[in-house]
Structures are given as C-alpha cells and as structure tokens.
Structure 1
Amino acid sequence: MLMMRTESMSRPMDLSHQIFARLQPHLHSWLKIYGKNFLTWNGPKAQLVITESEFAKEILKNKEKAYPQMETEGYLKKLLGDSLVTSEAMVSSVEMMLERWKQHEGEEIEVFEEFRMLTSEVISRTAFGSSYLEGKDIFEMLTKLGIITSRNVFKIKLPIFR
C-alpha cells in the first residue's frame, strides 16, 4: 500500500477532480480486481469496503445495531474523544429532523432554522441527555442574548456621550 501511494504521488497530477486513484491507489486497484464491495484486513481487524449506495444507506441506518461504530484509538481518540463525531446522538437527531421533513414533503422548508434546531438538539442530547424541545425556552433565551450581545459589541461608548 505504501509503495503504491509513494509511486502515485511521485508523478505530476492532471488537473482533474478524479483524485481517488492518486490518494488511495491500493483501494482503486482493489476495486478493479475484487469488485464494488470487498473485505480487506488491517492487521487483525477486518474492514468491509463498500461503494454501492444501497449498502451505505443500510449501514448508516443501523437500526438493528448490527454495525458497531469504529473505535477511535491513539491520536484520533485524543483529537475527537467521545465528541459529536463519534456520538449516536447526532444520528438520532438527524433521523428526527428527516422525519419532520417528511411531513412537509413538497413544501418549502427554512433550512437555516432546521439546522439551528438540529444543532441545538445534538447539544441538548450530548450535554444534558435531553431533547431540544425540553430545553427550547433556554435555547430561545440564549438566541435572544446572542442578538443583544452582537448589537452592543460595535457600539462606541464614550463617558460623556451615549
């Protein structure tokens, strides 16, 4: 793998968005040899490589918890910790948002507001173990406080003039 990557990086790259073969030459060649989905080994751990969208959807849904999350180790664990990236709260919150969107099929949705609510939902679940709706009043007050603060940050305060 290292030799393939070193060899691919030694050549100049064409101006193209097709960079997969350059960054992951081993996976690129294995896809040609073994097909769209295959099993590979990283030391003693098996890794399933999938490229078909239906399999990806099934794995990401993970309703039956058949696909455990990858354990982070070493520097990656120190960098990410048990943060939102590795948290199931984010998945639950996104699923709730998508269910809400299904009720508005064919209608316009205020995406900024939806993602603000999603962020609040994820924060509520990870920090407080509750949903956004339970702490909605607190988040609304924090939003108002943020607006007031941002308005006053740029006001010049002189001792004599207001």
Structure 2
Amino acid sequence: MMISLFSLFCLSLALAVFSRLIYKLWLGPIRMQQKLQSQGLKGPSYKLLHGNTKEIISMRKEAIKVPCDSGQHDMFPRILPHLNTWMKLYGNNFLIWIGNQPQIVVSEPELVREILNDKEGVYRKIKPVSHVKKLLGDGLVVAEGEKWSKLRKLANHAFHGESLKDMVSAMVESVDIMLERWRYHEGKEIEVSKEFKVLTSDVISRTAFGSSYVEGKNIFDMMMMVF
C-alpha cells in the first residue's frame, strides 16, 4: 500500500512538472501570441523551444553571404536582416521570440519616446548579465527610478541642443584631421575600425577635455587596459 501511494505521488509530481513545462514552452507563448495578435500586434509565429532564433540565425548567414556593395550605405538589412524583413511584413511594431521569451520590437518614434520617458515606471529594464554590467557600469542605461532621474538631470545639460551645437566645430576638426591622415594612405588598405576608434576618442577629448586624442592618449590607453 505504501509503495502504491509513493508511486502515485511520484506520478502526480511528474505530471505536474510536465504540465508546467508544456505551459511554459508551448501553451503560454501561444496564448500570449494570440492575445497580442487580437490587439493588432503581429509577428513571426512562435516555434517550440527556439522561438524565432533559427530564423534569425539563418537570415544573418544569408545576408553575410552577399558581397557588400561599396556604394551602398544602408547597412541595416545586412546587420539586422531579420528586423528589416519583419518590419516590412508586420509594420514598425511587432512581436518576436527569443526561445520562449517574447520581445516586442518598437520603431515608431512616438512610442519609442513614450517608452524612454517612462514617467509611470511601467517599462522595466532587463537586468544585464555580469560581463555587460561591467561594460555599462551603473549609469543611465541600466539605472531605474530615482537614481535614473538624478543621472538624467545631470546628463541633460551635456546633451541639450545648444550644447551639442557647440561641439560641431570640434567634431568637424577631428574628421578633417582623420581625412587628411587618410590622404597619405592612398592606394593602401586602411583599418577603418581602428581609425574610427581614434576618431571617437579624439571627439571625446576635444568636446569634454579641450585637448586632442594625441595629447590625452595615455589616459585612453589606460582606460582600454581596464576594459
């Protein structure tokens, strides 16, 4: 009798775990997809376990196979081909699945503004994994609530329209210096990623510290060692 009760308990437990698993991996996502579709938010169909990740990987592989046209400056279809394709199919806002986790892609300017403002605290930020947190720190990107408000006020002046206008001349000067340097490499290959890293550092040096990248190179070198 005891064995029979124990077996029944194990069977019930197994059924409970199996039911929960089925709901989490299939029924739950399907119900959510149907509910959002009824509200007008469409997207690629959910696939068991992997969601849309296989489609995303496949699209990226196909996009990379196509030679890059030097005269084409629109890199969005090449870098994020899945979003480019689905925006054409489903509009500016749509639902995708990373595994069994839903993600709503929003590219409509007014909705983006509303989400970023988030005055009611409705849109919660995803907690970054450890290595991402080391890169981002605890600044505006990951902060929430009162801390975010304080950081936003501190940053507001630096990114105000008038402040950005004052930086234009420094940015132009940095670009002119880079282009002048490139003239000496005519007919030779240029490591563009390295050049743009130097350009970014130079712009930061001129706009934030009033000096060129070359003058503050030691500081940037030490920063790179930290990261």
TM-score range, shorter chain: 0.5 to 0.7
Question: After the TM superposition, which residues 31-42 of structure 1 pair with which residues of structure 2 at under 5 Å, given as runs?
Answer: 31-42=87-98
CA distance in 1 between partners of 2:104 and 2:153 (Å): 24
Question: After the TM superposition, which residues 41-56 of structure 1 pair with which residues of structure 2 at under 5 Å, given as runs?
Answer: 41-56=97-112
Contact 2:92/2:106 (8 A) holds in 1 = yes
Cα offset for 1:55? 0.4
Equivalenced residue count is 106
Give the structure 2 partner of residue 73 of structure 1.
Answer: 129
Task: Give unmatched runs, 5+ long, in structure 2.
Answer: 1-55, 168-208, 211-227
Match of 1:16 among 72, 78, 99: 72
CA pair 90-45 structure 1, distance change in 2 beyond 3 A:
farther
Question: After the TM superposition, which residues 11-160 of structure 1 pair with which residues of structure 2 at under 5 Å, given as runs?
Answer: 11-14=66-69, 15-87=71-143, 88=148, 89-94=150-155, 97=157, 109=162, 111=163
Cα offset for 1:90? 2.9
The SS at the match of 1:57 is helix
The SS at the match of 1:4 is helix
| Structure 1 outlier segments of 4+, above 6 Å | none
TM-score (norm 2): 0.40
Match of 1:7 among 57, 62, 66: 62
Compare relative contact order (CA 8 Å, sep 6+) and give the higher one, 1 or 2: 2
Task: Give unmatched runs, 5+ long, in structure 1.
Answer: 102-107, 116-145, 148-162
Cα offset for 1:94? 4.2
Give 1:91's aligned amino acid: R
Which one is further off, 24-33 or 76-85?
76-85
CA pair 74-7 structure 1, distance change in 2 beyond 3 A:
farther
Give the structure 2 partner of residue 118 of structure 1.
Answer: none
Give 2:154's aligned amino acid: S
Q: Identity over aligned residues, as a percent?
A: 36
CA distance in 1 between partners of 2:61 and 2:134 (Å): 28
CA distance in 2 between partners of 1:94 and 1:59 (Å): 18
CA pair 63-93 structure 1, distance change in 2 beyond 3 A:
farther
Cα offset for 1:84? 4.5
* C-alpha distance after superposition, 1:41-85 (max 9, x if no partner): 222332111111100110111000011112111421232242454
The SS at the match of 1:86 is coil
Give 1:2's aligned amino acid: I
CA pair 64-78 structure 1, distance change in 2 beyond 3 A:
same
CA RMSD, Structure 1 to Structure 2 (Å): 3.0
Larger CA Rg, structure 1 vs 2: 2
The SS at the match of 1:33 is helix
* C-alpha distance after superposition, 1:90-125 (max 9, x if no partner): 324345x49xx7xxxxxx95x27x99xxxxxxxxxx
